[in-house]
Each structure stands twice: as structure tokens, then as C-alpha cells.
A and B are shown apart, each in its own frame.
Chain A
């Protein structure tokens, strides 16, 4: 480089350095200023809402500030990071949020690692305690009886299906499903689509199948006990589904791509739950009608008579099982503003607010008084309430829940993609491995 261009180069470097330093100090100041009363960590993007869930939080935070004069700041974390980060913050005594929104299936993870504060006294002495459904409180209770979180809404798993593809309603049992599936296959369609891999699969689609087949997940000590004939029966069925292409292969991959098949009416039914409500848009019915109304797409499609709801899939002679799960609030250990967090929880546990929570999430509010609101009289809500009442089953109790469920889920996936492996052998191996690797 000659002299002039080198000096110019040096000048540019210096200018950019100054800019960087300004940037560093400027941005640091901004983040420092943002520290105010309570900080919540959620999966919801309240700043620029994309779904009805996000919108609910945005509205609620505004209302909270208006009604009480307290500030509540939301920090949004992706759903696959939030639990790990809360745990990391607590274990490292780091940047712990005052309050966090948690999904009930991660309660076991938090309990195992001692991440959450014991809220038993707070909850039991709260005015809204008597108003909560027993099953929602149970979903927030650790194996040792302590209440670790406050339930906001209760979810249910069930089936969404296209009525024109299942003119006789969604099949009640797996045998019926196989018959219908053969018919749909001839028409070039999938019978069902669902999340077929990772923990989620065991909590939703396979959950009902396992219970109705009489398969156990665990024993009373939280050790794995999934190597039993019931599980093998489930695996055989799932294998059939994939082998005969009754379900799309993408169900075995990561992510939510499996939903597309239902959204485009390539699959007749979606084995999911109330949480999918907010994400199932736009929808295209088998006859081509489009429903692109944001969160109302599902209810519009149902009102138009195109979409129906059904209880989870079961084996003949079995009872459907819907995971008794909640989405609620917890206070992590090390929270700086416990009083503020409790005040916010009390605010949320008001009939109107909880009802809005339910509507935004497509789930039933945990508060009985909220359930009595008119909005919950619609078909969709009746389905959710009915399924919760009749078919709620608690999630499996495993000591290291995530590790165990992932081990079982991966075994399922492995057995499905390699049809020659012996199910019992693989299940037994996974079970022994998990039990031996516990602390």
C-alpha cells in the first residue's frame, strides 16, 4: 500500500474505532436505563406482537402499568432457549428475572435443578387459590408436594380434522384410523400429521397412545419403565403409519414443519392441542377455501363447518389421555424483586385478565370464575373444557425428566426409521441406560 492510501486506511480505522466506542457506551447506557421495577422473561414478543399470545401480553402489560402504576418489562426469549437460560441464570447467580412464564412440562426440569422458589405459602394464602381448578394446581406441584408455580391457563391435547376428509368424523380408534388412512392414501393424502420426534411427541401424540395401550412411562420412583408390551404396541402402530405413508416423514424431523401438511389440507388431521390454535393460520380447507384471519382462522374454519375437533387417538378399548398441563408463572431463585413479582401475579389472577389469557392462548383459564365468562361458551372452548375434564392425565414422573423423555423419544424415532430393529430390545437398552446414568 502506498503512503496516501495507508494514511487514509489508518484514518478510517480511527474513525471506525471512535464510532465503535460511541456505540459501546451509547448502547450500554440504553440497557442500563432499561432496568426498572419488574422484569419478566417469556416466549412472547410483546414489543411487536406476531400472534394472539404476544398480543395478550402486550395488552396486559399496558393495562398493568395503567392500573397499578408499576412498570413491568418483558424480555422475549425463544422457546428453545428460555428454560435453559433461566436455569443458567439461577445456577450462575447471574441475571435472574423477577418472574418467568413457564410451561408445565418443564416443571420437572426446574425442580430437578432447584431453579424455582417454593410458592406454596404464597399460593395457598392467596385470595384466588380457591378459584383454581384442582388439576391446574396439581400440574404446578412438585413430587414432594410443594407448589412451584402459579397456573394461568390449562391446555389440552386433541385432534383437529378436516370434516370433508373424514365424513364420518375422526376415527375413534387406531383400527378405524388405519382403514380411513388407506382410503385417504388412495386420494394422495396423509391421514394424520403430528410431532413425531423429541419430547413433545411423547407429551402429545404418543401420550394418548401409550396410556390407552396400557404402557407405563415410569415407576413410582421416577425411574424409567417404558420397556413393556404396551410401548411396543404403540411403536408398531407408529411404524405402520410411517411405512404406509399415512403420516408425512417430516414429522420425525425437528421444528414445526409437520403442521404445514394440515394447514394445506394434505393431511386429514393434526394431532396437537390447544396451543396450536394460535399458530394454525393461514388454513386452506380441502375444497380450497382459505382462512387467513390470524388467530381466528381456526374458529372461522370450524364455524364454516370445514374443521372439527375430536378427542386424542386411542387404541381400541383404551381411554384418551390429554396431558394435564399448564402455562403459568414462576419466581426463579435469586429474583431481586419477589414482592413485585407476587404483585404482578395477583394482578394476573383476576377473572377478566385470566379469561383474556385463556382466549389469547386458546386454552382454558385456570380460574373457575374466568371459565364462566361468555366467550368460553363456543364450540372450541366446550371441546377443550370437555377434554380437560374427562381425559386429563398428569405427565410422567421421571427424575431427570428431559433426559429421560428425550431418550425415549429418540428411541421411538430410531425404531421408526429403522424398521428392522427389535423394539423391546431397544426400549430395554434405552431404559437401562437412563436408569444407570442417573445421579
Chain B
């Protein structure tokens, strides 16, 4: 059944139309948050609510930037935790995935399943024990602990993604390098890693976004203001800024921006990796 030109036009219009609709729905809450963040206080609570501000102002942002610790401490902490966590997770996961992918040993499959099975544990389960451990080690309110917890949480996913990636890279390439005199680790670093860059970027981005947005662990472990992350700081705003939604939304937008930027930077690799089948299982 060859499609006629008219049918093709109908197809294009309907596909584009549906996709536009989906995009609008996806973006709407964020867009509304964005426009709300530019409203002055008296325009925030209006009946009927307006989408666009009558008067564009940055007072919400000023309030957040100058009167709260969001920029000074919270976002910095969030960055340190998220970046540190994701880089280390990927580094450790690369080693583990390589081992699983290239070596056959007894218990390999079982171990992989067990590691993946850790995802089934509800996130709240480990909070109290982890808190106890942290306080005994004196690591509450530190970045080191947060990063460690994030690594532990992110390893199962990352190993799974990276292993699938490594599996798709023929072993002949590193073997060639090894015959030429490279050790296994060298061949990993110089041959496999560059080839699997999209997979590593994927794992990195997934972990980065997840750690950046993480809330429950952060709110439990972090009490001191200087140690809090952005999501925890935002939650603390509730009591302070009850009806100042424009300030809330300004804070939300500021928290989202770095992640969106990071995402835009690496999006090609990310999409490429997933479309290549990094997550097919």
C-alpha cells in the first residue's frame, strides 16, 4: 500500500500536531512557573489567574538571590554533591561493567542480578541506618557522605547501562591493543572508554540529574544551613514565603537551570547512546 501524497501530508500534519500537543503539555507547568517567577507580589494571587504578568519584574529572583542562601550555599552544595557523585559513580561503574562484560567467572550473572536487584529497595529503607552510620562517623552535614551515598545509589543503574554499552563494543579492539603491549587497564582507558563515550555520558547525565534533584536523603542528612542542597533549601522556603509564589517559582527555575544547561550540552551523546540501545536490557 503505497501512501499517496495526500496521505503523506496528513501523516506529517498529524504527527507534528500530536508532538506539538505533547510538548505543550510537557512544558506547560515549567512555562507557567517561569512566567510566575517574573510577576510582582500583588499579581501572584489574582482571580482569575493570569498566565503572563502584566508587569514583568525580577523581584522574585532578587529575593531568592540576595535574601536566601540558595546561591551562596545550597546550589554550590548541590553541584558538588551531584557532580562529585556522578563522576565517581561512572568511574567505579566503568571498572565493574568492564569486568562483567569482558570476563566470564562463576557467579557473574548472579552478582549482576543482585546488584540490579538493589533498585527494588525503597529509598526510605536505608535512611535511618545511613543516618546512624553518618552520625557515628561524624559525617553528617558533609559533602563526602552525600557523595558516597549517591554513588551507592547510582551504581546499579550505571553498571547496567555501561555493561550494555561495553557488550556492544567488539573485544578485538582492546585485544589488539593488549597484544601490542597495553595492560588491561590501559586498553580500557585508551580504547574502550573513548568508544563508549556516549554510554558514559548517558550514565553521567542520568546520575547527575538524579543526584541534583534528590531530596529525601539530603533532607535527612543535612541540617546545617551551610550544608543543605538546593531541593532542601527550597523546601525550607515554604514556611518563610507562604504566599510569595513568585519567589518559590524563581527558586525552582534557578534550581532547574544548571541541569537544563548540562542536558543541552550533552544531549547529542545522550540521545545517541539511548537510541543505540543502551537501555534495552
Please give the residue numbers on chain A whose beta carbons come within 8 Å of chain B beta carbons, in ascending order: 1, 6, 9, 13, 16-17, 20-21, 23-24, 27-28, 30-31, 34, 41, 43, 45, 47-48, 50-51, 54, 75-81, 85, 88-89, 92-95, 255-256, 259-260, 263-264, 279
Chain A positions within 8 Å of B226 at CB level: 27, 30-31, 34
Contact with A along B16-37 (1 / 0, CB 8 A): 0000000000000000000000
Nearest CB on B from A27, distance (A): 6
Q: Say whether B224 contacts A94, CB under 8 Å.
A: no
Which of B100-108, B109-117, B174-182, B237-245 participates in binding chain A? B237-245
Q: A28-B143, A43-B239 are known contacts. Are A88 and B128 too (CB-CB below 8 A)?
A: yes
Which of B6-14, B79-87, B149-157, B251-259 participates in binding chain A? B79-87
Chain B positions within 8 Å of A263 at CB level: 243
Q: A31-B226, A77-B223 are known contacts. Are A20 and B197 too (CB-CB below 8 A)?
A: no
Chain A positions within 8 Å of B277 at CB level: none
Residue of A nearest to B243 (CB): A260
Q: Which of A20, A76, A94 contacts B135 (CB 8 A)?
A: A94
Nearest CB on B from A237, distance (A): 28
Q: Which of A23, A41, A75, A92 contacts B76 (CB 8 A)?
A: A23
Nearest CB on B from A44, distance (A): 9
Contact with A along B263-280 (1 / 0, CB 8 A): 000000100000000000
Nearest CB on A from B267, distance (A): 14
Q: Say whether A23 contacts B80, CB under 8 Å.
A: yes
Q: Say whether A92 contacts B135, CB under 8 Å.
A: yes
Nearest CB on B from A42, distance (A): 11
The docked-state distance in angstroms from the alpha carbon of A1 to that of B77 is 31
The docked-state distance in angstroms from the alpha carbon of A214 to that of B275 is 67
Q: List the 8 shortest-distance A-B pairs measured between CB atoms, nearest first.
A: A94-B135, A23-B80, A92-B132, A50-B240, A24-B143, A20-B84, A95-B140, A78-B236
Chain A positions within 8 Å of B136 at CB level: 93
The docked-state distance in angstroms from the alpha carbon of A211 to that of B134 is 46
Q: Which of B80, B131, B241 contacts A24 (CB 8 A)?
A: B80
The docked-state distance in angstroms from the alpha carbon of A23 to that of B76 is 8
Residue of A nearest to B45 (CB): A260
Q: Say whether B141 contacts A95, CB under 8 Å.
A: yes
Q: Say whether B225 contacts A94, CB under 8 Å.
A: no
Chain A positions within 8 Å of B164 at CB level: none
Nearest CB on B from A139, distance (A): 23
Q: Does B220 contact A (CB under 8 A)?
A: yes
Beyond A24-B142, A94-B131, A94-B134, list 9 extra A-B contacts (CB 8 Å): A27-B143, A27-B227, A28-B142, A28-B144, A31-B227, A48-B68, A76-B225, A88-B131, A264-B45
Q: Name B51-88 residues within 8 Å CB distance of A.
A: 67-69, 73, 76-77, 79-80, 83-84, 87
Chain A positions within 8 Å of B45 at CB level: 260, 264
**8 A–B contact pairs at CB < 8 A?**
A16-B83, A23-B79, A30-B226, A31-B141, A92-B132, A93-B135, A93-B136, A263-B243
Q: Say whether A48 contacts B67, CB under 8 Å.
A: yes
The docked-state distance in angstroms from the alpha carbon of A28 to that of B141 is 8
Q: Say whether B219 contacts A16, CB under 8 Å.
A: no
The docked-state distance in angstroms from the alpha carbon of A223 to that of B271 is 58
Q: Does B147 contact A (CB under 8 A)?
A: yes
Q: Say whether A79 contacts B239, CB under 8 Å.
A: yes
Nearest CB on A from B75, distance (A): 11
Q: Say whether B219 contacts A20, CB under 8 Å.
A: no
The docked-state distance in angstroms from the alpha carbon of A264 to that of B226 is 37
Q: A31-B141, A45-B240 are known contacts. Are A78 and B84 too (CB-CB below 8 A)?
A: no
Q: Which of A16, A23, A93, A255 contacts B87 (CB 8 A)?
A: A16
Chain B positions within 8 Å of A255 at CB level: 238
Chain A positions within 8 Å of B77 at CB level: 27
Chain A positions within 8 Å of B128 at CB level: 88, 92
Chain B positions within 8 Å of A51 at CB level: 240
Chain A positions within 8 Å of B69 at CB level: 47
Q: Say whether B142 contacts A31, CB under 8 Å.
A: yes
The docked-state distance in angstroms from the alpha carbon of A370 to that of B84 is 53
Q: Say whether B144 contacts A31, CB under 8 Å.
A: no
Nearest CB on A from B82, distance (A): 9
Chain A positions within 8 Å of B76 at CB level: 23, 27
The docked-state distance in angstroms from the alpha carbon of A225 to that of B236 is 36
Chain A positions within 8 Å of B131 at CB level: 88, 92, 94
Q: Which of B134, B144, B197, B242 contacts A279 (CB 8 A)?
A: B242
The docked-state distance in angstroms from the alpha carbon of A113 to that of B73 is 33
Q: Which of B144, B225, B241, B243 contacts A75 (CB 8 A)?
A: B225
The docked-state distance in angstroms from the alpha carbon of A48 to that of B63 is 11
Q: Which of B135, B197, B241, B269 contacts A50 (CB 8 A)?
A: B241
The docked-state distance in angstroms from the alpha carbon of A50 to that of B87 is 38
Q: Say whether A85 contacts B223, CB under 8 Å.
A: yes
Q: Say whether A47 contacts B225, CB under 8 Å.
A: yes
Q: Say whether B224 contacts A31, CB under 8 Å.
A: yes
Q: Say whether B242 contacts A24, CB under 8 Å.
A: no
Residue of A nearest to B236 (CB): A78
Nearest CB on A from B161, distance (A): 18
Chain A positions within 8 Å of B227 at CB level: 27, 31
The docked-state distance in angstroms from the alpha carbon of A131 to that of B64 is 43
Q: Say whether B224 contacts A24, CB under 8 Å.
A: no
Q: A30-B226, A31-B142 are known contacts. Are A24 and B84 too (CB-CB below 8 A)?
A: yes
The docked-state distance in angstroms from the alpha carbon of A263 to that of B67 is 25
Residue of B nearest to A14 (CB): B87
Chain A positions within 8 Å of B269 at CB level: 1
The docked-state distance in angstroms from the alpha carbon of A324 to that of B197 is 64
Residue of A nearest to B219 (CB): A81
Q: Which of B87, B141, B236 contacts A20 (CB 8 A)?
A: B87
Nearest CB on B from A155, distance (A): 17
Residue of B nearest to A91 (CB): B128
Chain B positions within 8 Å of A13 at CB level: 87
Q: Say whether A20 contacts B80, CB under 8 Å.
A: yes
Residue of B nearest to A77 (CB): B223
Chain B positions within 8 Å of A16 at CB level: 83, 87
Chain A positions within 8 Å of B68 at CB level: 48
Chain B positions within 8 Å of A6 at CB level: 194, 197
Residue of B nearest to A35 (CB): B224
Chain B positions within 8 Å of A92 at CB level: 128, 131-132, 135
The docked-state distance in angstroms from the alpha carbon of A320 to that of B132 is 46
Interface centre among B69, B143, B239 (most CB of A within 10 A): B239
